[in-house]
Amino acid sequence: MTKGLSRRDLLQRSAAAGAGVFLIGSTDMLVTAPSAAAAPRQAGYGPLVPDPAKRLALPEGFTYTVVTEAGVTTLDTGEPTPRNHDGTGAFARRGGGTVLVNNHEIADPFGTDLPVPHHEGLTYDPAAAGGCTVIEVDRGGNRISEHVGVAGTATNCAGGVTPWATWLTCEEVDAKAGQKGFQKDHGYVFEVDPYEREANRDPKPIIALGRFAHEACAVDPRRGDIYLTEDAGDPNGLLYRWEAPREFRMGKDSLHRLGPTSGGYTAMKASDGNGRHVPDLSLATQPGTTYAVEWVPVPDRDGREKPTRLQLGDGDVTRSHKLEGAWWHGDGVYIVASFAGEESPVVHDGQVWFYEPKKKTITLRLLLTKNPDPDVDGAFDGPDNISVSPYGGVIIAEDGKGVQHLVGATPSGQTFPVARNDFDSGKAQGSEFTGPVYSPDKKILFANIQTPGYMFAITGPWRRQT
């Protein structure tokens, strides 16, 4: 983590890029990227201790267990656990413990190694190999069972939990029937019930939430609006908002009752303090930068003739490369921009934004400038999945170059490692972390290493981070 640019550097760079960046009001910062020396107290849980088993390095006093392992653990029906663990939702288990819905980001057609098994009534497209599994664990994080939640979907990346205790799984692909070996259209959001298996039968896409390379989504628990991120380039992706119609009543089956064009469907357009359009979020190079937001209608949310991000011109919307994790908290939603390279106006190694609907503003809460040597442990880059920590701040899964971490960020502006991928061989070596989420009782942090696929339950002396 390095300190953000000075205000002078910010204005000089912004002017050179052709768009001014100005603060338009103060904000309570989640994280700001100050130096650790400026903090009154060192954040985190101390240095990471190398793992003799060469899986996870954790702080002293912390331990982990393996909940699922692709190809090793098995489903209740006997098939091996699918590969490519990704976004995860956690729900309170009746009688104690946790129910987890785990995405499997498999892009290959069915027939590939370790797919989500195709069970009758639970499969959307017989030609697709992705989907979700539902895992039950006890209070200690020990595995009880695992079964298929939805199958026959593709590239299930992240998603989001709903206020009515279901999981929205997002397909990070834009493919129509007949493309990439698929028999049905893909690029949708599907809903998975963690409790009722029968509720997941006959899976149908929620067409009202758009068709594009979805990454994650977050639901406004008051209004019912849903914010959706797009991981795309050439051109960079968009932040979308599905606007709940007046008659919408949140609850189970509420999304499945929607028509294909129910509710509004819009994309974000940001402006600086002088009212000038901000074409790309990478132009913000100082934490605290705040933009005014308006929402521009998307003509065809289903992208039948043209992908949604191409339906609006660069002057109509604000883009960002690799929009990733999303998580609702308090009065707004965290949005992650994983990194920006030469395809963006300004290069960076990660941003975390916070959008507040009441204020109609989006604020840069965390900036990771270029990591000078990703192969050396210490700096962080490439934030991806995100969730709010019950101990303050957020937990971020790193999907960068070189060494991979779970990263904590405190409300006072410090970052610290929670775990490190210590695999030194095989497919898991250098693989990204995904799906960090705490158990409802706050005692266990569940997280995955994506390839080939591990879910871990991490326990230890958690404490408040300030």
pLDDT at 26 (0 to 100): 28
- The strand order across the sheet containing 405-409 reads 48-49, 56-59, 415-421, 405-409, 394-398, 383-388
pLDDT at 40 (0 to 100): 53
Extents of the domains making up the chain: 7-459
Which residue, among 363, 366, 352, 273, has the nearest Cα to 4 in the 3D structure? 366
Contact 5, 16 (CB under 8 A): no
Burial of 73 from C-beta contacts in 10 A (0-12 / 13-18 / 19+): middle
- Would the CA dihedral through 125, 194, 354, 366 be positive or negative? negative
pLDDT averaged per 10 residues in sequence order, the chain, 466 residues: 31 28 30 39 92 98 98 98 98 97 97 97 98 98 98 98 98 96 98 97 98 98 98 94 97 95 98 96 95 98 97 96 96 95 91 97 93 89 97 96 95 88 97 98 98 98 94
Threshold 0.95, pTM exceeds: no
Burial of 401 from C-beta contacts in 10 A (0-12 / 13-18 / 19+): middle
E strand or H helix at 10, and its extent?
A: helix 7-17
pLDDT at 410 (0 to 100): 87
pLDDT at 414 (0 to 100): 84
Over its C-alpha atoms, the chain yields an Rg (Å, rounded) of: 21
Question: Cis peptide before 417, with omega less than 30 degrees from 0?
Answer: no
| Both tokens assigned to 237 | 């992706």
pLDDT at 42 (0 to 100): 83
The CATH architecture one would assign to domain 7-459 is 6 Propeller (2.120)
| Both tokens assigned to 461 | 């002396």
CA-to-CA distance for 81 and 85, rounded, in angstroms? 10
CA-to-CA distance for 413 and 31, rounded, in angstroms? 4
pLDDT at 369 (0 to 100): 86
